[in-house]
Amino acid sequence: MSVRIAVAGTGNIARIHVEALRELGDRVTVVAGVDIDEARAREFCAAHGIPRAGADLPAVLAATRPDLVHVCTPPGAHLDAARAALAAGAHVLVEKPPTLTLREFDELAAAGPVATVFQHRFGGGVRRLRTAAFGRPLVAQCDTSWFRPQEYFDVPWRGNWHTEGGGPTMGHGIHQMDLLLAVLGEWTEVRAVARRQARRVATEDLSLALVEFANGAVASVVNSVLSPREESRLRFDFEWATVELTHLYGYGDDNWRVTPAPGHEAAVKAEWTGPDGPSGHRAQFAAVLDALEAGEPLPVTAAEARRTLSLVAAVYASAFTGRPVRPADVGPGSPFYDRMQGSGPPWEAP
Ligand SMILES: NC(=O)c1ccc[n+]([C@@H]2O[C@H](COP(=O)([O-])OP(=O)(O)OC[C@H]3O[C@@H](n4cnc5c(N)ncnc54)[C@H](O)[C@@H]3O)[C@@H](O)[C@H]2O)c1
């Protein structure tokens, strides 16, 4: 049976979605494309051979009865689109960041089961690493050092809290931080600095954080859009091996390097086996279909996506209050629960 999919929001990332879905062959059929800009929806559907285009999401869902809705709108519109999809009886997969705030995320999760796109979790290397026994994780480094020139921010919705929910911590580094958490699990405390260092934006253009984990590991995190030599990098030092991932916007098997500690060569080699293949939307969509067929929660689940969003909130909370922040500090009642910038960055102070 082919899973019937509708795409809400037919902009840039929607194209990546339908191209990745096409690679999954007859496991899926894209039945509709919806955009508040109806002309854009029509053009998109014509280009990709999708039978139904429209601007009214509930009406299109009622007419086409999809099994699954991919929400590819800007983040501020994810909650309403997900609600419409759930009301129509469909499963929901929303693009990252799932919402602009933790409050909105909790409303989303309360509306029904919603999965989030964090496509880098689904490459072979991360799947191997999550099951490999390399001893205790001791220290990790998580860097998103990217470059976005000033012109990139000239689009009105970029660089603003109310449209993007933040700068590189929320919009760019969230992928690498999500991988860090996929491997190391619950974070317990964050100390962070955020700066508006070089770009004319309302948000930060740089953040650095020290993150402590329930399993005892400690990680440093850099999120930058100021770095002319761009790189995405994760490094984990376990008791018996160093595992490094160096890439930019997605990785393959060649982007990994595993270095055993002396005396652990054979054991580490034996552990570093299992799935292979690149990260990307196609890999996640295949995992979503597997879960749908097995009647399991779709990945990435709300609990895991919330943990990543709460780390983003904690980086802002620590940077803007100058204090260490624990998960409860960004829960209901905190200004950082209602808005990622909470009480506001120091550069907004009168
Ligand atoms: N996973 C990734 O690596 C990745 C990469 C880029 C973007 N994204 C995410 O994808 C989402 C979309 O980004 P984009 O770059 O495609 O943006 P975009 O501006 O190119 O496309 C968004 C589309 O949504 C439409 N839209 C806006 N509000 C809508 C609504 N209420 N209902 C229906 N359509 C609506 C817009 O008209 C536009 O066509 C964002 O959440 C972004 O963060 C994820």
Mean pLDDT (whole number) for 16-33: 98
Contact indicator for 69, 91 with CB cutoff of 8 Å? yes
| 129 and 252 within one domain | yes
Share of the chain above pLDDT 90, in %: 96
pLDDT tens-place string over residues 112-125: 999 999 999 999 99
Q: Exposed e or buried b for every residue in 138-172, given b needs 16+ CB within 10 A?
A: eebebbbbbebeeeebeeeebbbbebbbbbbbbbb
Question: Of 304, 314, 299, nearest to 169 (Cα)?
Answer: 314
Separation between Cα atoms, residue 206 and residue 84, nearest integer Å:
36
Q: Which residue has the tokens 């205790």?
A: 136
Atom of ligand 1 nearest to the CA of 281: 1
| 239 and 153 within one domain | yes
Instruction: Give a yes or no: residue 336 inside a domain.
Output: no
DSSP readout, 288-307?
A: HHHHHHHTPPPSSPHHHHHH
Q: Is 99 in the pocket of ligand 1 (CB under 6 A)?
A: no
Tell me how many domains the chain contains.
2
Contact indicator for 344, 217 with CB cutoff of 8 Å? no
Question: What pLDDT is attached to residue 348?
Answer: 84
Handedness of CA 90, 164, 320, 311 (dihedral sign): positive
pLDDT tens-place string over residues 219-228: 999 999 999 9
Residue 190 has pLDDT above 80, yes or no: yes
User: Which residues of 127-169 form beta strands (DSSP E)?
Assistant: 137-147
Q: Is 96 in the pocket of ligand 1 (CB under 6 A)?
A: yes
pLDDT tens-place string over residues 256-267: 999 999 999 999
Q: Is 95 in the pocket of ligand 1 (CB under 6 A)?
A: yes
Instruction: Give a yes or no: residue 342 inside a domain.
Output: no
Looking at the chain, list the stretches that DSSP marks H as alpha helix, in order from N- to C-terminal side: 12-22, 38-48, 57-64, 78-87, 102-111, 124-131, 161-164, 168-171, 174-184, 265-271, 281-294, 302-321, 335-338
Q: In this structure, which residue's CA is closest to atom 43 in ligand 1?
A: 96
| 296 and 147 within one domain | no
Instruction: Give a yes or no: residue 348 inside a domain.
Output: no
Q: Is 279 in the pocket of ligand 1 (CB under 6 A)?
A: no
Q: In this structure, which residue's CA is closest to atom 39 in ligand 1?
A: 11
Separation between Cα atoms, residue 301 and residue 73, nearest integer Å:
19
| 94 and 194 within one domain | no
Question: What pLDDT is attached to residue 131?
Answer: 94
Mean pLDDT (whole number) for 27-33: 98
Q: Is 41 in the pocket of ligand 1 (CB under 6 A)?
A: no
Separation between Cα atoms, residue 51 and residue 21, nearest integer Å:
15
| 271 and 152 within one domain | yes
Going by DSSP bridges, is the β-strand pair 256-260/241-247 parallel, antiparallel, or unpaired? antiparallel
| 259 and 240 within one domain | yes
Separation between Cα atoms, residue 151 and residue 139, nearest integer Å:
37
Residue 34 has pLDDT above 80, yes or no: yes
Q: Is 332 in the pocket of ligand 1 (CB under 6 A)?
A: no
Mean pLDDT (whole number) for 198-216: 98
Question: What pLDDT is attached to residue 155?
Answer: 85
Mutational pocket test of ligand 1: of 15, 42, 44, 73, the residue with most ligand atoms within 8 Å of the beta carbon: 73
Domain membership of residue 15 as a residue range: 3-120+284-301
Q: How far is the CA of 9 from the centre of ligand 1 (A)?
A: 6
Question: Of 273, 256, 241, 3, nearest to 135 (Cα)?
Answer: 241
Question: Of 265, 259, 299, 267, nearest to 127 (Cα)?
Answer: 299
Question: What pLDDT is attached to residue 350?
Answer: 60
Separation between Cα atoms, residue 116 and residue 107, nearest integer Å:
14
| 253 and 136 within one domain | yes
CATH number at residue 190: 3.30.360.10
Q: State whether residue 156 is helix, strand or coil.
A: coil
Separation between Cα atoms, residue 159 and residue 144, nearest integer Å:
17
| 158 and 272 within one domain | yes
Separation between Cα atoms, residue 204 and residue 148, nearest integer Å:
13
Query: Which strands, in side-by-side order, build the sheet including 52-54?
Result: 52-54, 28-34, 3-8, 68-71, 91-94, 114-116
Separation between Cα atoms, residue 277 and residue 53, nearest integer Å:
34
Q: Which residue has the tokens 């890999």?
A: 283
Contact indicator for 72, 85 with CB cutoff of 8 Å? no
| 131 and 116 within one domain | no
Kindly tell me the burial class for residue 242, based on how many C-beta atoms sit within 10 Å of its own C-beta (0-12, 13-18, 19 or more). middle
